[in-house]
């Protein structure tokens, strides 16, 4: 970790972390994701793709990642907190998002317990 103004981003950089000056606790993680021609590709398995308009959600002035797109990152080897996220988010996703998530996990992480999804 280093101050952003001291180092430019490099091609292998995949995350930015932010915190308030003088604090030790990191507050925000920003994933840097590949986008080509308006399509996001999952870095761990580029066969998993999504149009950027579907990979992100906008609420007012805030844009964030679609939870269905975030969950494959947690599916490879789910920790307790990942399982908790899945249990909280999965039932709240629209049916089409749940199907997309299931198919993405089956493709990228077929050994994941989430590959059975609905």
pLDDT for res 3: 61
According to the model, what pLDDT value does residue 21 have? 86
pTM to 2 decimals? 0.81
What is the predicted pLDDT for the residue at 73?
94
**What pLDDT shows up at residue 58?**
83
pLDDT for 88: 97
- Predicted pLDDT at 101: 97
Mean pLDDT by 10 residues, the chain (118 residues): 68 84 87 89 95 89 90 96 97 96 98 89
| Spatial CB neighbours of 14, under 8 Å, sequence gap ≥ 6 | 31, 32, 43
> Residue 82 and residue 79: Cα distance in Å, rounded?
5
Helices and strands (H, E) in the chain, number of each type: 4, 7
pLDDT of residue 4: 63
Which H or E run contains 17? strand 15-18
Q: How far apart are CA 9 and CA 27, in angstroms?
A: 20
Residue 91 CA to chain centroid, in angstroms? 18
């Amino acid at each position: 970790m280093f101050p952003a103004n001291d180092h430019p981003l490099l091609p292998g950089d995949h995350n930015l972390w932010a915190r308030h000056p003088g604090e030790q606790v990191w507050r925000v993680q920003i994933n840097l994701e590949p986008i080509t021609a308006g399509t996001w590709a999952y870095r761990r398995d580029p066969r998993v793709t999504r149009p950027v308009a579907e990979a992100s959600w906008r609420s007012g002035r805030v844009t964030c990642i679609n939870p269905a797109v975030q969950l494959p990152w947690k599916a490879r080897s789910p920790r307790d907190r990942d399982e908790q996220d899945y249990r909280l988010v999965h039932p709240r996703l629209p049916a089409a998002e749940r199907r997309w998530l299931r198919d993405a996990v089956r493709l990228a992480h077929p050994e994941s317990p989430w590959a059975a999804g609905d």
